[in-house]
Amino acid sequence: MKTEVILTSNIVGLGGESDQVKVAAGYARNYLFPQRLAVPLTQTNKRQIESLRQRRAEREAHEFNTMSELAKGVSKLTCVIKVKAGEDGKMFGSVTAGMIADELKHQFDIALDKRKIHLEHPLRSTGEYEIELNLHAEVKGTLKVRVESLTPAPAPTPEALAAAEAKTEKPRTEKRAHTKRDAEVEKPAKAEAAAEKKPHAAKAEKPAKAAKSPKAEKKEKAE
Q: What is the pLDDT of residues 38-76, one digit of tens each?
A: 999 999 999 899 999 999 999 999 999 999 999 999 999
Distance CA 26, CA 33 (A): 10
Q: Which is higher by pLDDT, 193 or 82?
A: 82
CA distances from 160 to 79, 111, 143, 163 (A): 33, 46, 37, 5
Is residue 14's pLDDT more than 90? yes
Q: How far is C-alpha 92 from the geometric centre of its chain's CA atoms?
A: 24
**Which residues are CB-neighbours of 28 under 8 A, at least 6 positions away?**
3, 5, 38, 40
Distance CA 165, CA 173 (A): 13
Distance CA 161, CA 169 (A): 12
> Would you state the pLDDT for residue 203?
47
Q: How confident is the model at residue 194 (pLDDT cuts 50, 70, 90)?
A: low
Is residue 34's pLDDT more than 50? yes
Helix (H, G, I), strand (E, B) or coil at 10: coil
Helix (H, G, I), strand (E, B) or coil at 21: strand
Is residue 160's pLDDT more than 90? no
> Would you state the pLDDT for residue 115?
93
